[in-house]
């Protein structure tokens, strides 16, 4: 009897499975601020950016189209501060699971597609409990995207400011090319709307232009509440 009571108590104390899925609607907008430090050939550069993301369309199959508009961008390199002209708006079409399908606008070359996958959050296909893991596999494509795979682990819930979030650890690695890129870090995903609230990401061998030496990027992106 005591054993059954203990088992029932332990079962009751287990956290309920968590739903992590897109729940945003067309027309919603989110504002972000981002900071990044790049290291290449022994030099460091910092970049700070403000931008907004608009959900343009949510499709019947669950896929969604977003538009990103940069509103401010500043950089510091070699002791010099620079204000950079904002990029033109760009759009990305995602599958229902959060993986990018198509880029439109600036950054639609191979570099853009590689960064899009390094930055992507793949939603789990089922409800998850702390410690649950899932994966993503990316095939090489004519867009210039190279093959790679990602691993994700739900760590539990954690608030970012006033927003309750699911915290997910991730690691994504390309599996081909002369300098395969890899990224790792943490996502905080809103439990209410399913969109990103915060990301801390470290990228090695980042696909930045035609740099003759490997580039490392450490960045933090956070929703402006």
Q: 94-126 pLDDT, tens per residue?
A: 999 999 999 998 768 899 999 999 999 999 999
Question: In this model, does residue 3 exceed pLDDT 60?
Answer: no
Whole-model pTM: value is 0.90
CA dist., res. 132 & res. 125, Å (int) = 11
Q: Average pLDDT, stretch 8-18? A: 57
Cβ(52)–Cβ(69) under 8 Å?
A: yes
Question: What's the start-to-end Cα distance of the chain, in Å?
Answer: 51
Cβ(213)–Cβ(150) under 8 Å?
A: no
CA-based radius of gyration for the chain: 19
Phi and psi at residue 205, in whole multiples of 5°?
55, 45
Question: Which of residues 136 and 14 earns the better pLDDT score?
Answer: 136
Question: Which of residues 41 and 71 earns the better pLDDT score?
Answer: 71
Question: In this model, does residue 150 exceed pLDDT 60?
Answer: yes
Percent of the chain with pLDDT over 70: 92
CA dist., res. 101 & res. 106, Å (int) = 15
């Amino acid at each position: 009897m005591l054993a059954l009571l203990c088992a029932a108590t332990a079962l009751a104390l287990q956290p309920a499975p968590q739903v992590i899925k897109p729940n945003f609607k067309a027309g919603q907008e989110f504002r972000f601020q981002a900071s990044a430090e790049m290291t290449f050939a022994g030099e460091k550069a910092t970049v700070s950016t403000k931008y907004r993301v608009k959900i343009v369309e949510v499709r019947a199959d669950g896929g969604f189209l977003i538009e990103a508009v940069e509103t401010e961008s500043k950089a510091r390199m070699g002791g010099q501060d620079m204000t950079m002209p904002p990029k033109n708006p760009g759009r990305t079409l995602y599958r229902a699971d959060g993986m990018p399908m198509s880029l439109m606008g600036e950054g639609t070359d191979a570099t853009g597609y590689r960064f899009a996958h390094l930055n992507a959050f793949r939603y789990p296909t089922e409800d998850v409990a702390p410690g649950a893991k899932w994966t993503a596999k990316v095939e090489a494509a004519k867009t210039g995207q190279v093959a790679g795979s990602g691993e994700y682990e739900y760590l539990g819930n954690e608030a970012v400011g006033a927003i309750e979030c699911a915290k997910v650890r991730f690691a994504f690695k390309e599996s081909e090319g002369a300098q395969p890129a890899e990224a790792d870090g943490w996502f905080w995903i809103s439990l209410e709307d399913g969109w990103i609230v915060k990301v801390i990401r470290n990228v090695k061998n980042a696909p930045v232009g035609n740099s003759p030496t490997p580039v490392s990027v450490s960045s933090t992106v956070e929703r402006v509440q």
